[in-house]
């Protein structure tokens, strides 16, 4: 009876995959809607009495507030996910994110209620960030624990592809608004439409999660087939997490990928337009085309990791990024090349250094952690690594490029980030098809096995 209870049908797996894909798509749709809104219109709608530069800084500051909240959300909802279940927490996070994004679309402006308008905006952004801090980690955890051995990589790639869907959808919605409306109409009411439109995705995602069964691994562990969380309360502390080798290896993998993402998608795109005076369509079009190609890159890398393990693809992608960093950047910043060649170089390095690594990230991190704290440690390692790399990386790149008057610091930082990912992948144990109901983290389990083998040999 117990075995039957923990089995999941193909229909259950499909529903879990769709739920993870939609949740991640909504998260990144929210992210892109807000980032574009902050960059394009929020400084005029919510901070009109400030100077143009200060208004933009304040608008982007509200964007940054959500990033800080993500760390807090990762800890709070990660622990809840390991205690009360993945399904309940994923329902909470998707609801928080979706409602807050939709409510931004009905906020009164500064002209209507004064200073309370930006206060409400920041409040919604913080609540949205709390939910987002555990969304992609929760979706990755749930799908990994649903997927059968031998197919976890390809199935989990759906979560990664959700990021492309969300980003492209949000960008397309804003592009349509700018095409159809003039500036006055956009500021009067048009800016609300993208946020209100996200409600469609939210409703469908919430409906899916209401009808989603709990993770079979979580049920098995908490029914006593393996050591339940309650039997090892000391292992769930922050101190234990920071002592975990697996936690730091996972953070290193995330730090490398997120650092490359911040450099290429945030800093380099702006550097090409503002410093090198390229037409803004070159980096934006290249990144959009690259994201579309990601619908091929991501599942292929997921499939390869099912065939050859998680470590080898990680190692190859990071080495490739290191080798390609200088030649691709040299082409990207050289105006003697045609726009097509420059865009192709950016697409190549983006797929190797960012999308390829992201395709491997969710399933690898899920398999690295034990069942008793998988959700918590995966969420915190993802958000901590991402916050530091994305939050400070572009700023440091700007400082170094300004000091040297050169684009070479971008190459150096790209190589350093990829080296961090490479070293982490080299050191980590192979985790492909690891039993996800094992309570201990992978590196710790491997250490116990190695110690036992050494004693036996002696």
Per-residue pLDDT of 329-370, as tens digits, reads 999 999 999 999 999 999 999 999 999 999 999 999 999 999
417: nearest Cα among 265, 260, 267: 260
Residue 430 has pLDDT above 50, yes or no: yes
Q: What is the pLDDT of residue 451?
A: 46
Residue 253 has pLDDT above 60, yes or no: yes
58: nearest Cα among 133, 115, 108, 10: 115
Structure confidence by residue, pLDDT tens digits, 263-287:
898 788 878 887 888 887 888 888 8
Residue 12 has pLDDT above 70, yes or no: yes
Q: Please indicate whether residue 88 or residue 9 has the higher confidence score (pLDDT).
A: 88
286-298 in b/e form (b: 16+ CB < 10 A) is bbbebbebbeebb
Residue 390 has pLDDT above 90, yes or no: no
Q: What is the pLDDT of residue 280?
A: 78
User: Helix (H, G, I), strand (E, B), or coil: what is residue 181?
Assistant: coil
Q: What residues contact residue 316 under an 8 Å CB cut-off, 6+ apart?
A: none
DSSP run (H or E) holding 228 = none
Of 22-26, 222-226, 280-284, where does mean pLDDT reach its minimum? 222-226
What's the topology of domain 7-231?
Answer: Growth Hormone; Chain: A; (1.20.1250)
Tell me whether domains 7-231 and 233-458 share a fold: yes
Residue with tokens 């913080």: 126
In eight-state DSSP terms, residue 231 is G
Residue 434 has pLDDT above 80, yes or no: yes
Please provide the size of the chain in residues: 458
Average pLDDT (199-205) is 88
Q: What is the pLDDT of residue 365?
A: 95
Average pLDDT (180-200) is 88
Dist CA 117 CA 89 (whole Å):
30
- Asked if 323 and 298 count as a contact pair (C-beta separation under 8 A), the reply is no
Residue 224: φ, ψ to 5°: 100, 5
Q: Where are the alpha helices (DSSP H) in 147-268?
A: 152-180, 183-185, 192-210, 216-222, 238-242, 245-261
33 confidence band (pLDDT: 50, 70, 90): confident
Q: Please indicate whether residue 25 or residue 419 has the higher confidence score (pLDDT).
A: 419
Q: Please indicate whether residue 453 or residue 84 has the higher confidence score (pLDDT).
A: 84
Q: What is the mean pLDDT of the chain?
A: 85
In eight-state DSSP terms, residue 370 is -
- Residue 192, number of CB atoms within 10 A of its CB: 18
Dist CA 294 CA 286 (whole Å):
12
Question: Percent of the chain beyond pLDDT 70?
Answer: 89
Structure confidence by residue, pLDDT tens digits, 37-69:
776 777 788 877 666 656 656 665 666 677 788
Q: What is the pLDDT of residue 453?
A: 46
Q: What is the pLDDT of residue 187?
A: 86
Of 162-176, 369-383, 427-441, where does mean pLDDT reach its minimum? 162-176
Residue 317 has pLDDT above 60, yes or no: yes
The residues spanned by each domain of the chain are 7-231, 233-458
Average pLDDT (87-110) is 91
How far, in Å, are 112, 200, 221, 436 from residue 269 at the CA level?
A: 35, 31, 46, 40
Dist CA 86 CA 145 (whole Å):
10
Dist CA 283 CA 291 (whole Å):
12
Torsional sign, CA 351, 22, 394, 183 = positive
Dist CA 165 CA 270 (whole Å):
23
Residue 90 token pair: 């994923």
Residue 5 has pLDDT above 80, yes or no: no
Residue with tokens 């993998």: 253
In eight-state DSSP terms, residue 234 is G
Dist CA 226 CA 435 (whole Å):
11
Most confident of 14-23, 189-198, 302-311: 302-311
Percentages of the chain per state (helix, strand, coil), in multiples of 5: 85, 0, 15
Dist CA 257 CA 313 (whole Å):
13
Average pLDDT (189-208) is 89
398 confidence band (pLDDT: 50, 70, 90): confident
Residue 426 has pLDDT above 60, yes or no: yes
- Asked if 379 and 387 count as a contact pair (C-beta separation under 8 A), the reply is no
Residue with tokens 């709990």: 214
Dist CA 59 CA 47 (whole Å):
7
Dist CA 376 CA 374 (whole Å):
6
Choose the CATH number for 233-458 among 3.40.630.10, 1.20.1250.20, 3.40.50.300, 3.20.20.70: 1.20.1250.20
Q: What is the pLDDT of residue 457?
A: 46
Q: What is the pLDDT of residue 82?
A: 92
Residue 177 has pLDDT above 80, yes or no: yes
Residue 234 has pLDDT above 70, yes or no: no
Q: What is the pLDDT of residue 75?
A: 92
Q: What is the pLDDT of residue 39?
A: 66
Q: What is the pLDDT of residue 444?
A: 81
User: Helix (H, G, I), strand (E, B), or coil: what is residue 439?
Assistant: coil
């Amino acid at each position: 009876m117990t075995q039957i209870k923990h089995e999941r049908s193909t229909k259950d797996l499909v529903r879990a995959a769709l739920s993870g894909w939609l949740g991640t798509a909504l998260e990144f749709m929210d992210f892109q809607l807000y980032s574009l809104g902050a960059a394009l219109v929020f400084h005029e709608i919510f901070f009109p009495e400030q100077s143009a530069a200060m208004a933009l800084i304040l608008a982007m500051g509200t964007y940054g507030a959500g990033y800080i909240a993500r760390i807090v959300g990762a800890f709070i909802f990660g622990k809840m996910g390991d205690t009360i279940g993945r399904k309940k927490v994923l329902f909470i996070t998707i609801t928080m994110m979706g409602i807050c994004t939709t409510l931004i679309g009905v906020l009164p402006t500064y002209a209507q209620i004064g200073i309370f308008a930006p206060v409400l905006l920041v409040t919604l952004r913080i609540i949205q960030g709390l939910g987002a801090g555990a969304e992609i980690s929760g979706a990755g955890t749930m799908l990994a624990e649903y997927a059968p051995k031998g197919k976890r990589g390809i199935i989990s790639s759906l979560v990664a592809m959700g990021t492309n869907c969300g980003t492209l959808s949000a960008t397309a919605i804003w592009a349509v608004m700018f095409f159809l409306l003039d500036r006055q109409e956009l500021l009067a009411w048009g800016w609300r439409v993208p946020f209100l439109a996200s409600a469609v995705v939210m409703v469908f995602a919430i409906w899916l999660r209401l009808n989603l069964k709990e993770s079979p691994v979580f049920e098995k562990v908490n029914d006593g087939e393996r050591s339940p969380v309650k039997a090892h309360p000391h292992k769930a502390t922050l101190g234990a997490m920071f002592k975990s080798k697996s936690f730091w290896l996972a953070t290193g993998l995330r730090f490398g990928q997120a650092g490359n993402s911040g450099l290429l998608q945030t800093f380099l795109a702006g550097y090409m337009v503002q410093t090198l005076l390229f037409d803004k369509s070159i980096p934006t079009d290249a990144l959009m085309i690259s994201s579309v190609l990601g619908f091929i890159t991501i599942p292929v890398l997921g499939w390869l990791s099912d065939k050859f393990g998680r470590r080898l693809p990680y190692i190859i992608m990071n080495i490739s990024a290191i080798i390609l960093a200088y030649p691709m950047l040299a082409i990207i910043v050289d105006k003697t090349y045609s726009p097509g060649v420059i865009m192709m170089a950016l697409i190549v390095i983006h797929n190797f250094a960012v999308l390829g690594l992201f395709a491997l990230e969710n399933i690898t991190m899920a398999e690295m952690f034990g069942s008793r704290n998988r959700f918590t440690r995966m969420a915190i390692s993802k958000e901590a690594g991402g916050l530091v790399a994305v939050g400070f990386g572009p700023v440091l790149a700007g400082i170094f490029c300004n000091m040297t008057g050169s684009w070479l610091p971008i190459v150096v930082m790209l190589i350093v980030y990829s080296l961090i990912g490479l070293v982490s992948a080299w050191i980590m144990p192979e985790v492909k098809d690891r039993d996800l109901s094992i309570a201990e983290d992978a590196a710790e389990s491997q250490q116990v096995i190695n110690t036992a083998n050494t004693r036996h040999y002696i």
